[in-house]
Amino acid sequence: MIWLLGIPGFLLIVGGCAVVHGERDSDRLAGVRFERIQAAKSVTELDQWLAANQSLAQRLARSSGAFSGYGCISLNASNNKPEGESELESDSDPDADAIELEEDVDLDCVVVTGSRIMPEDIITNVQTSGIDEGGLLKRRGDHLLVLRGDEIFRIRIDSRDGPTLELEQSVSLTESAKGQEVWYDELLVFEQGAAVLSFDFGRSVTGLQLYRMGSGGNLTAAAHIEIQSEDYYSGSNYGLRLIGDRALFQVSVGLSPGASWEWPLWRSLDIRSEELTPDEWQPLIDVGDVLLPLVPISDPVIHATLLCEVEAMLAGSLDCAATGLIAEYWSELYVSRTAAYVAMDTWKDEAYLVEGASPWSWRARTDPKLQGMSETLIYRLPLDDSESVGAVFISGERGNQFSFREIGDGLVTVTELLPDPDARLLGVHQIPLDQFSGEASEARNPRIQTATLDVSHNHRTIRVADHHVLIGEHSLMVNDPTVPMEQTEFVVLSLLESVPERVILDQSVDRIEVLDGQIFVSGRGVAGKWSMSVLDPRSPDRVST
């Protein structure tokens, strides 16, 4: 689910590297990056930036000669609607037209992993209290909602007579999709009902279908919203999040040389009409919502982060606070209780001056001329609109969302350091929130604490927990599933210590969860079976497998 972004430079001669002669840093990067975080004043200003950025890409290409630029569900019900099932219609009383199912619907079991949402206990896959994320399975009271293919199944899991599994309703999502190439990716449950996030590949449209849930659990259609955007899906991240009574999601619009600025547009469909008559398209963000970039961008995309009122969405409207970042296509979104963070890989200014090399080349990561020049730029977008957007630069390449965690008044994140192509070094950065700045010069020189960690493997699973950084070897290190798994190293670093604990496991580390103070690690075992180990972070060498 995916799947979502200027400072005066100086001429630096790096040992072993040649810079471009006769061209100053300020000349080469002029107009490509800005000295402070600021909103665009006009479309003309954005056009000028895009032209300057493309000019830089062409110069880099000439210089280097290189091209720049789970839920597991078992439902044994028929795929067809049971006889007697009525169409899902909007109604003022969500329980008035409850769908009647035949008594002999075969529901043997429901086998899932996912999060459940309860008023007093919201747990998600990033273990961030108070934030729920889109998934395949959600619990609301005595009801389990399962998103499978193009249907929502509502299952009663408890009754006065005790635990039960009773399929009470099946909701088809395709009746409003008109047979297009639609993937239904994520389900969210909130106090008033539920929402499904989808993407229509035939039309490049993100869909939001919203349902109200009655006192008896019945779901009825409330609204259908469409957004023109790039595909949001990411295998390691989520498209939709719920924070209190607001939903947060990110949509992206790609930009290419010579293309006009195509603003994300949205519209509501009239679910009361048989043909789902659409309203007119209207802009989701304005030019004044787009922030000018602090760095050159090799693959520019507008990532629009939206914080929207759920009640307005149920009424068919997007009442959203929007921030657009011009960022790399492959950027990472992490959301805490206080802010959304957008992180992207970038390079130090001197990397754009090295003769015969391009940081935008496919071989940049292993180019010895660019060693030690990779950076991560992190934007912090506060959820409180009284705070300002800030940024910080740190060394190394970013990880995925599990490599970030806001703890107290700081952000902890892990990057991959690349002093040379064979190095296996990680940087563990503890960044005070007050170091996020709107000034590029301050953002490039933050006062942070960084620990360097040497690991023995390249294919890593990383998880930042409340008190520890956890790192293990993923089964991808053995690319052939028929090859036996070997023992692996699991690293536990306390955020209060500088020396990590290293533990040998009889399995790979494909997934890390921290539950009730214990570390749960799952992966391929040396015996060929899927294995789980449980560790106490206070004594990580005591392993139960």
Of all residues in the chain, the percent with pLDDT exceeding 90 is 41
- E strands, 396-516, are 404-407, 410-417, 425-432, 449-454, 460-464, 468-473, 488-494, 501-505, 511-515
CA distance linking residue 40 with residue 38, whole number of Å: 7
pLDDT of residue 159: 66
CA–CA separation, 322 and 319 (whole Å): 9
**447: exposed, middle or buried (Cβ count in 10 Å: 0-12, 13-18, 19+):** exposed
Is residue 97 classed exposed, middle or buried when 0-12, 13-18 and 19+ CB atoms within 10 A define those classes?
middle
Q: How big is the CA angle at 408 (ends 406 and 412), to the nearest 5 degrees?
A: 35
Is residue 151 pLDDT above 60, yes or no? Answer: yes
Rounded to the nearest angstrom, the gap between the alpha carbon of residue 49 and the centroid of all alpha carbons in its chain is: 27
What is the pTM for the complete model shown? Answer: 0.82
| Higher pLDDT among residues 347 and 110, named by residue | 347
CA distance to 70, 146, 217, 223, 313, per residue, from 153 (Å): 16, 5, 12, 19, 22
Region 392-418: mean pLDDT is: 94
pLDDT in tens, 483-534: 778 899 999 999 988 889 999 999 999 989 888 889 999 999 988 888 999 9
Alpha-carbon gap, residue 538 to 542, rounded angstroms: 9
89: pLDDT strictly greater than 60: no
pLDDT digit string, tens, across residues 194-244: 999 998 888 888 999 999 999 889 999 999 999 988 776 666 677 889 998
Q: Using CA atoms, how far apart are residues 124 and 493, in angstroms rounded to an integer? A: 23
pLDDT at 124 exceeding the cut of 70 = no
Of 280, 277, 271, 189, the closest CA to residue 222 belongs to 271
| Residue-level pLDDT at 152 | 94
Tokens of 486: 């070997």
384-397: per-residue pLDDT in tens?
989 999 999 999 99
305 pLDDT exceeds 70? yes
For residues 96 and 296, the model is more confident at: 296
State how far the Cα of 19 lies from the Cα of 28, in Å rounded to an integer.
12
| Amino acid type, 299 | D
**Pairing mode, strands 151-159 and 143-148:** antiparallel
Residue 511, strand partner residues: 522
Q: What is the C-alpha to C-alpha distance for residues 233 and 229, in angstroms, rounded to an integer? A: 11
* pLDDT at position 288 over 50: yes
Name the token pair of 230.
């790039």
Helix (H, G, I), strand (E, B), or coil: what is residue 349?
helix
Quick one: the chain helix, strand, coil %, rounded to 5?
10, 40, 45
Average predicted confidence (pLDDT) for the chain: 80
Which are the contacts of 419, defined by CB distance < 8 A and separation ≥ 6?
Answer: 371, 372, 425
Instruction: Please give the pLDDT value at position 78.
Output: 32
Task: Mean pLDDT check: name the lowest of 427-431, 476-480, 534-538.
Answer: 476-480
CB atoms within 10 A of CB 154: 22
Give one word for 363, left, alpha or beta, with left for phi > 0 and alpha for psi -120 to 50. alpha
Higher model confidence: residue 3 or residue 176?
176
pLDDT average, residue stretch 336-361? 92
| pLDDT over 70, % of the chain | 77
Q: Which residues contact 489 (CB under 8 A, 6 or more apart)?
A: 455, 456, 457, 472, 473, 502, 503, 504, 505
Write phi, then psi, for 335 (nearest 5 degrees). -125, 130
Whole-angstrom distance, CA of residue 187 vs CA of residue 105: 23
pLDDT at 350 over 80: yes
Helix (H, G, I), strand (E, B) or coil at 113: coil
Of the pLDDT bands very low, low, confident and very high (cuts 50, 70, 90), residue 256 is low
Question: For position 234, what pLDDT does the model report?
Answer: 66
Host H or E run for residue 51:
helix 43-64
Q: What is the pLDDT of residues 157-170, one digit of tens each?
A: 876 777 778 899 99
State the DSSP H helix or E strand holding residue 434, giving kind and residue range, or none if neither. Answer: none
Alpha-carbon gap, residue 384 to 340, rounded angstroms? 11
DSSP state of 456: S
Quote the tokens at residue 540: 């990580």
Rg (CA), the chain: 25
Coil, strand or helix: which one is 255?
coil
CA distance 535 to 545: 9
pLDDT by residue (tens digit) across 12-66?
223 333 334 344 545 678 788 899 999 999 988 988 898 899 888 888 888 766 5
- Single-letter amino acid, residue 543: V
Per the CB < 8 A criterion, the answer to whether 183 and 205 are in contact is: no
Tokens of 92: 């003022």
Assign 390 to helix, strand or coil.
strand
* Range in 5-9, 32-36, 37-41, 128-132 with the lowest mean pLDDT: 5-9
Nearest-angstrom CA–CA distance, 79 and 515: 36
Q: What pLDDT score was predicted for residue 66? A: 54
